[in-house]
Structure 1
Amino acid sequence: MNTTSPNAELKYKKLIWALSIAIPLAVAVLFGIRIPGVERLGFLPPIYAAINGFTAVVLVLAVIQIKKGNRKAHESLMKTAIVLSALFLVMYVAYHMTSDSVAYGGEGVLRYIYFFILISHITLSIGIIPLVLFTYVRALSEQFDKHRKLAKITFPIWLYVAVTGVIVYFMISPYYPA
């Protein structure tokens, strides 16, 4: 699917930036909404933490496959990573629409480490949206030089977001209500 015409490029850029703004805004708005009559979905955090872990593994496997020259496997793995990230986001929002936020109860240096990881995770999870989408569109439009160049930036940030999502879960899980 080669869609490198200037009009297609502009259309994708506008769509990507619109999504990159709309998704974090929607998540922020949905955080403030509670679904009436729905019990707390307390089973979701370990599931979406595992999804973050799977995403990290899939990302690493995708890089290994492209380095081996296996473009088809790389493409399948990257599509899987995108689906996993979307699934994570849906579950994360659903949990927070049925549950109050959990305060981190750790003290001392661990508290500072937790908040550093949490804040960098949240900030980069917002920033990764346009990076993933632009990287993906460049591959779809067969702009492989541009794709490769941007992927070298996108991959480590996306991997960091996936891994720190798991770390945040393990650090806060002792403080979840029973």
Structure 2
Amino acid sequence: MSAENMLQPQITKNDKLARLVIGVVSFVIFTAIVLLSKIKIEANLGFDVHVFALINALINSFVSILLIAGLIAVKRRNYLLHKKIMLGAIILSVLFLVSYICHHLFAGETRFGDLNHDGLVSDAEKSAAGSLRIFYYIILGTHIPLAGIILPFILFTAYRGLTAEFPRHKKIARITWPVWLYVSVTGVLVYLLISPYY
């Protein structure tokens, strides 16, 4: 039985409206993240604000697991389970976005190697961090741009699935899935590397 017979469209196809909505949502979220990364709110929340970073890492871990489970489900032709898993990954990604913004608003920027938390990384601190510092910046340097561009791909992939345009869904998913997985896995790795400096 084909995917077309397994799942009916969940939303009405309207490519013009979809492009507009996905473009606006992606632009607004990207702009908000860029602007909010320059702002730090000084507030005592009554808990360690770096808990948001831990939440981010946990969410990214669950998203990675769901992405792999979603791939397994679709390879086994369990399209309904695939749909549920992937929508779960999208919902978790929305929660991640909220937590990510909260972390950056309340914690500000953390510099890799900044042992004394003065916002500067001295030569001695760089030396103490060693080659791990280079590895961190390589991972971060690939994670950030890919995280910045993946959102519209995720939304278009979901749109093609929800309109039951399965050949087009599959075509874009071949790009979206590996990039999304890379972003979620490296998000956890970035947390593990930077968290000693919180």
Normalised TM-score (structure 2): 0.83
Deviation readout 1:104-140 (Å, 9 max, x if unpaired): 0163332221111112111001110111011000011
Secondary structure of 1:25's counterpart equals helix
Match of 2:12 among 3, 18, 21: 3
Q: 2:41 & 2:156 partners in 1: Cα distance?
A: 34
Is 1:119–2:141 an aligned residue pair? yes
Q: Which runs of 5+ in 1 are unaligned?
A: none
Counterpart of 1:44 in structure 2 is 52
Distance 1:2 1:75 in 2: 14
Q: 2:67 maps to what in 1?
A: 59
Q: How many residues align?
A: 173
Residue 93 of structure 1, CA deviation? 0.7
Corresponding residue of 1:91: 99
Tell me what 1:80 maps to. Answer: 88
Distance in 1, Cα, partners of 2:194 & 2:41: 23
Partner of 1:21: 27
Moved more, 35-44 or 121-130: 35-44
SS at match of 1:98: helix
CA contact (8 A) 2:54 2:191 kept: yes
Q: Which amino acid letter does the alignment assign opposite residue 32 of structure 2?
A: A
CA distance in 2 between partners of 1:118 and 1:36 (Å)? 26
Matched, 1:157 2:179: yes
**What percent of counterpart residues are identical?**
39
* Range that drifts further, 161-170 or 8-17: 8-17
User: Quick one: which amino acid aligns to residue 58 of structure 2?
Assistant: A
4+ residue runs of structure 1 moved beyond 6 angstroms?
none
Question: What is the CA–CA distance in structure 2 between the aligned matches of 1:151 and 1:160, rounded to whole Å?
Answer: 14
Q: Higher mean Cα deviation, 82-91 or 39-48?
A: 39-48
- Distance in 2 (alpha carbons) for counterparts of 1:144 and 1:132: 15
The Cα shift of 1:34 comes to 3.2
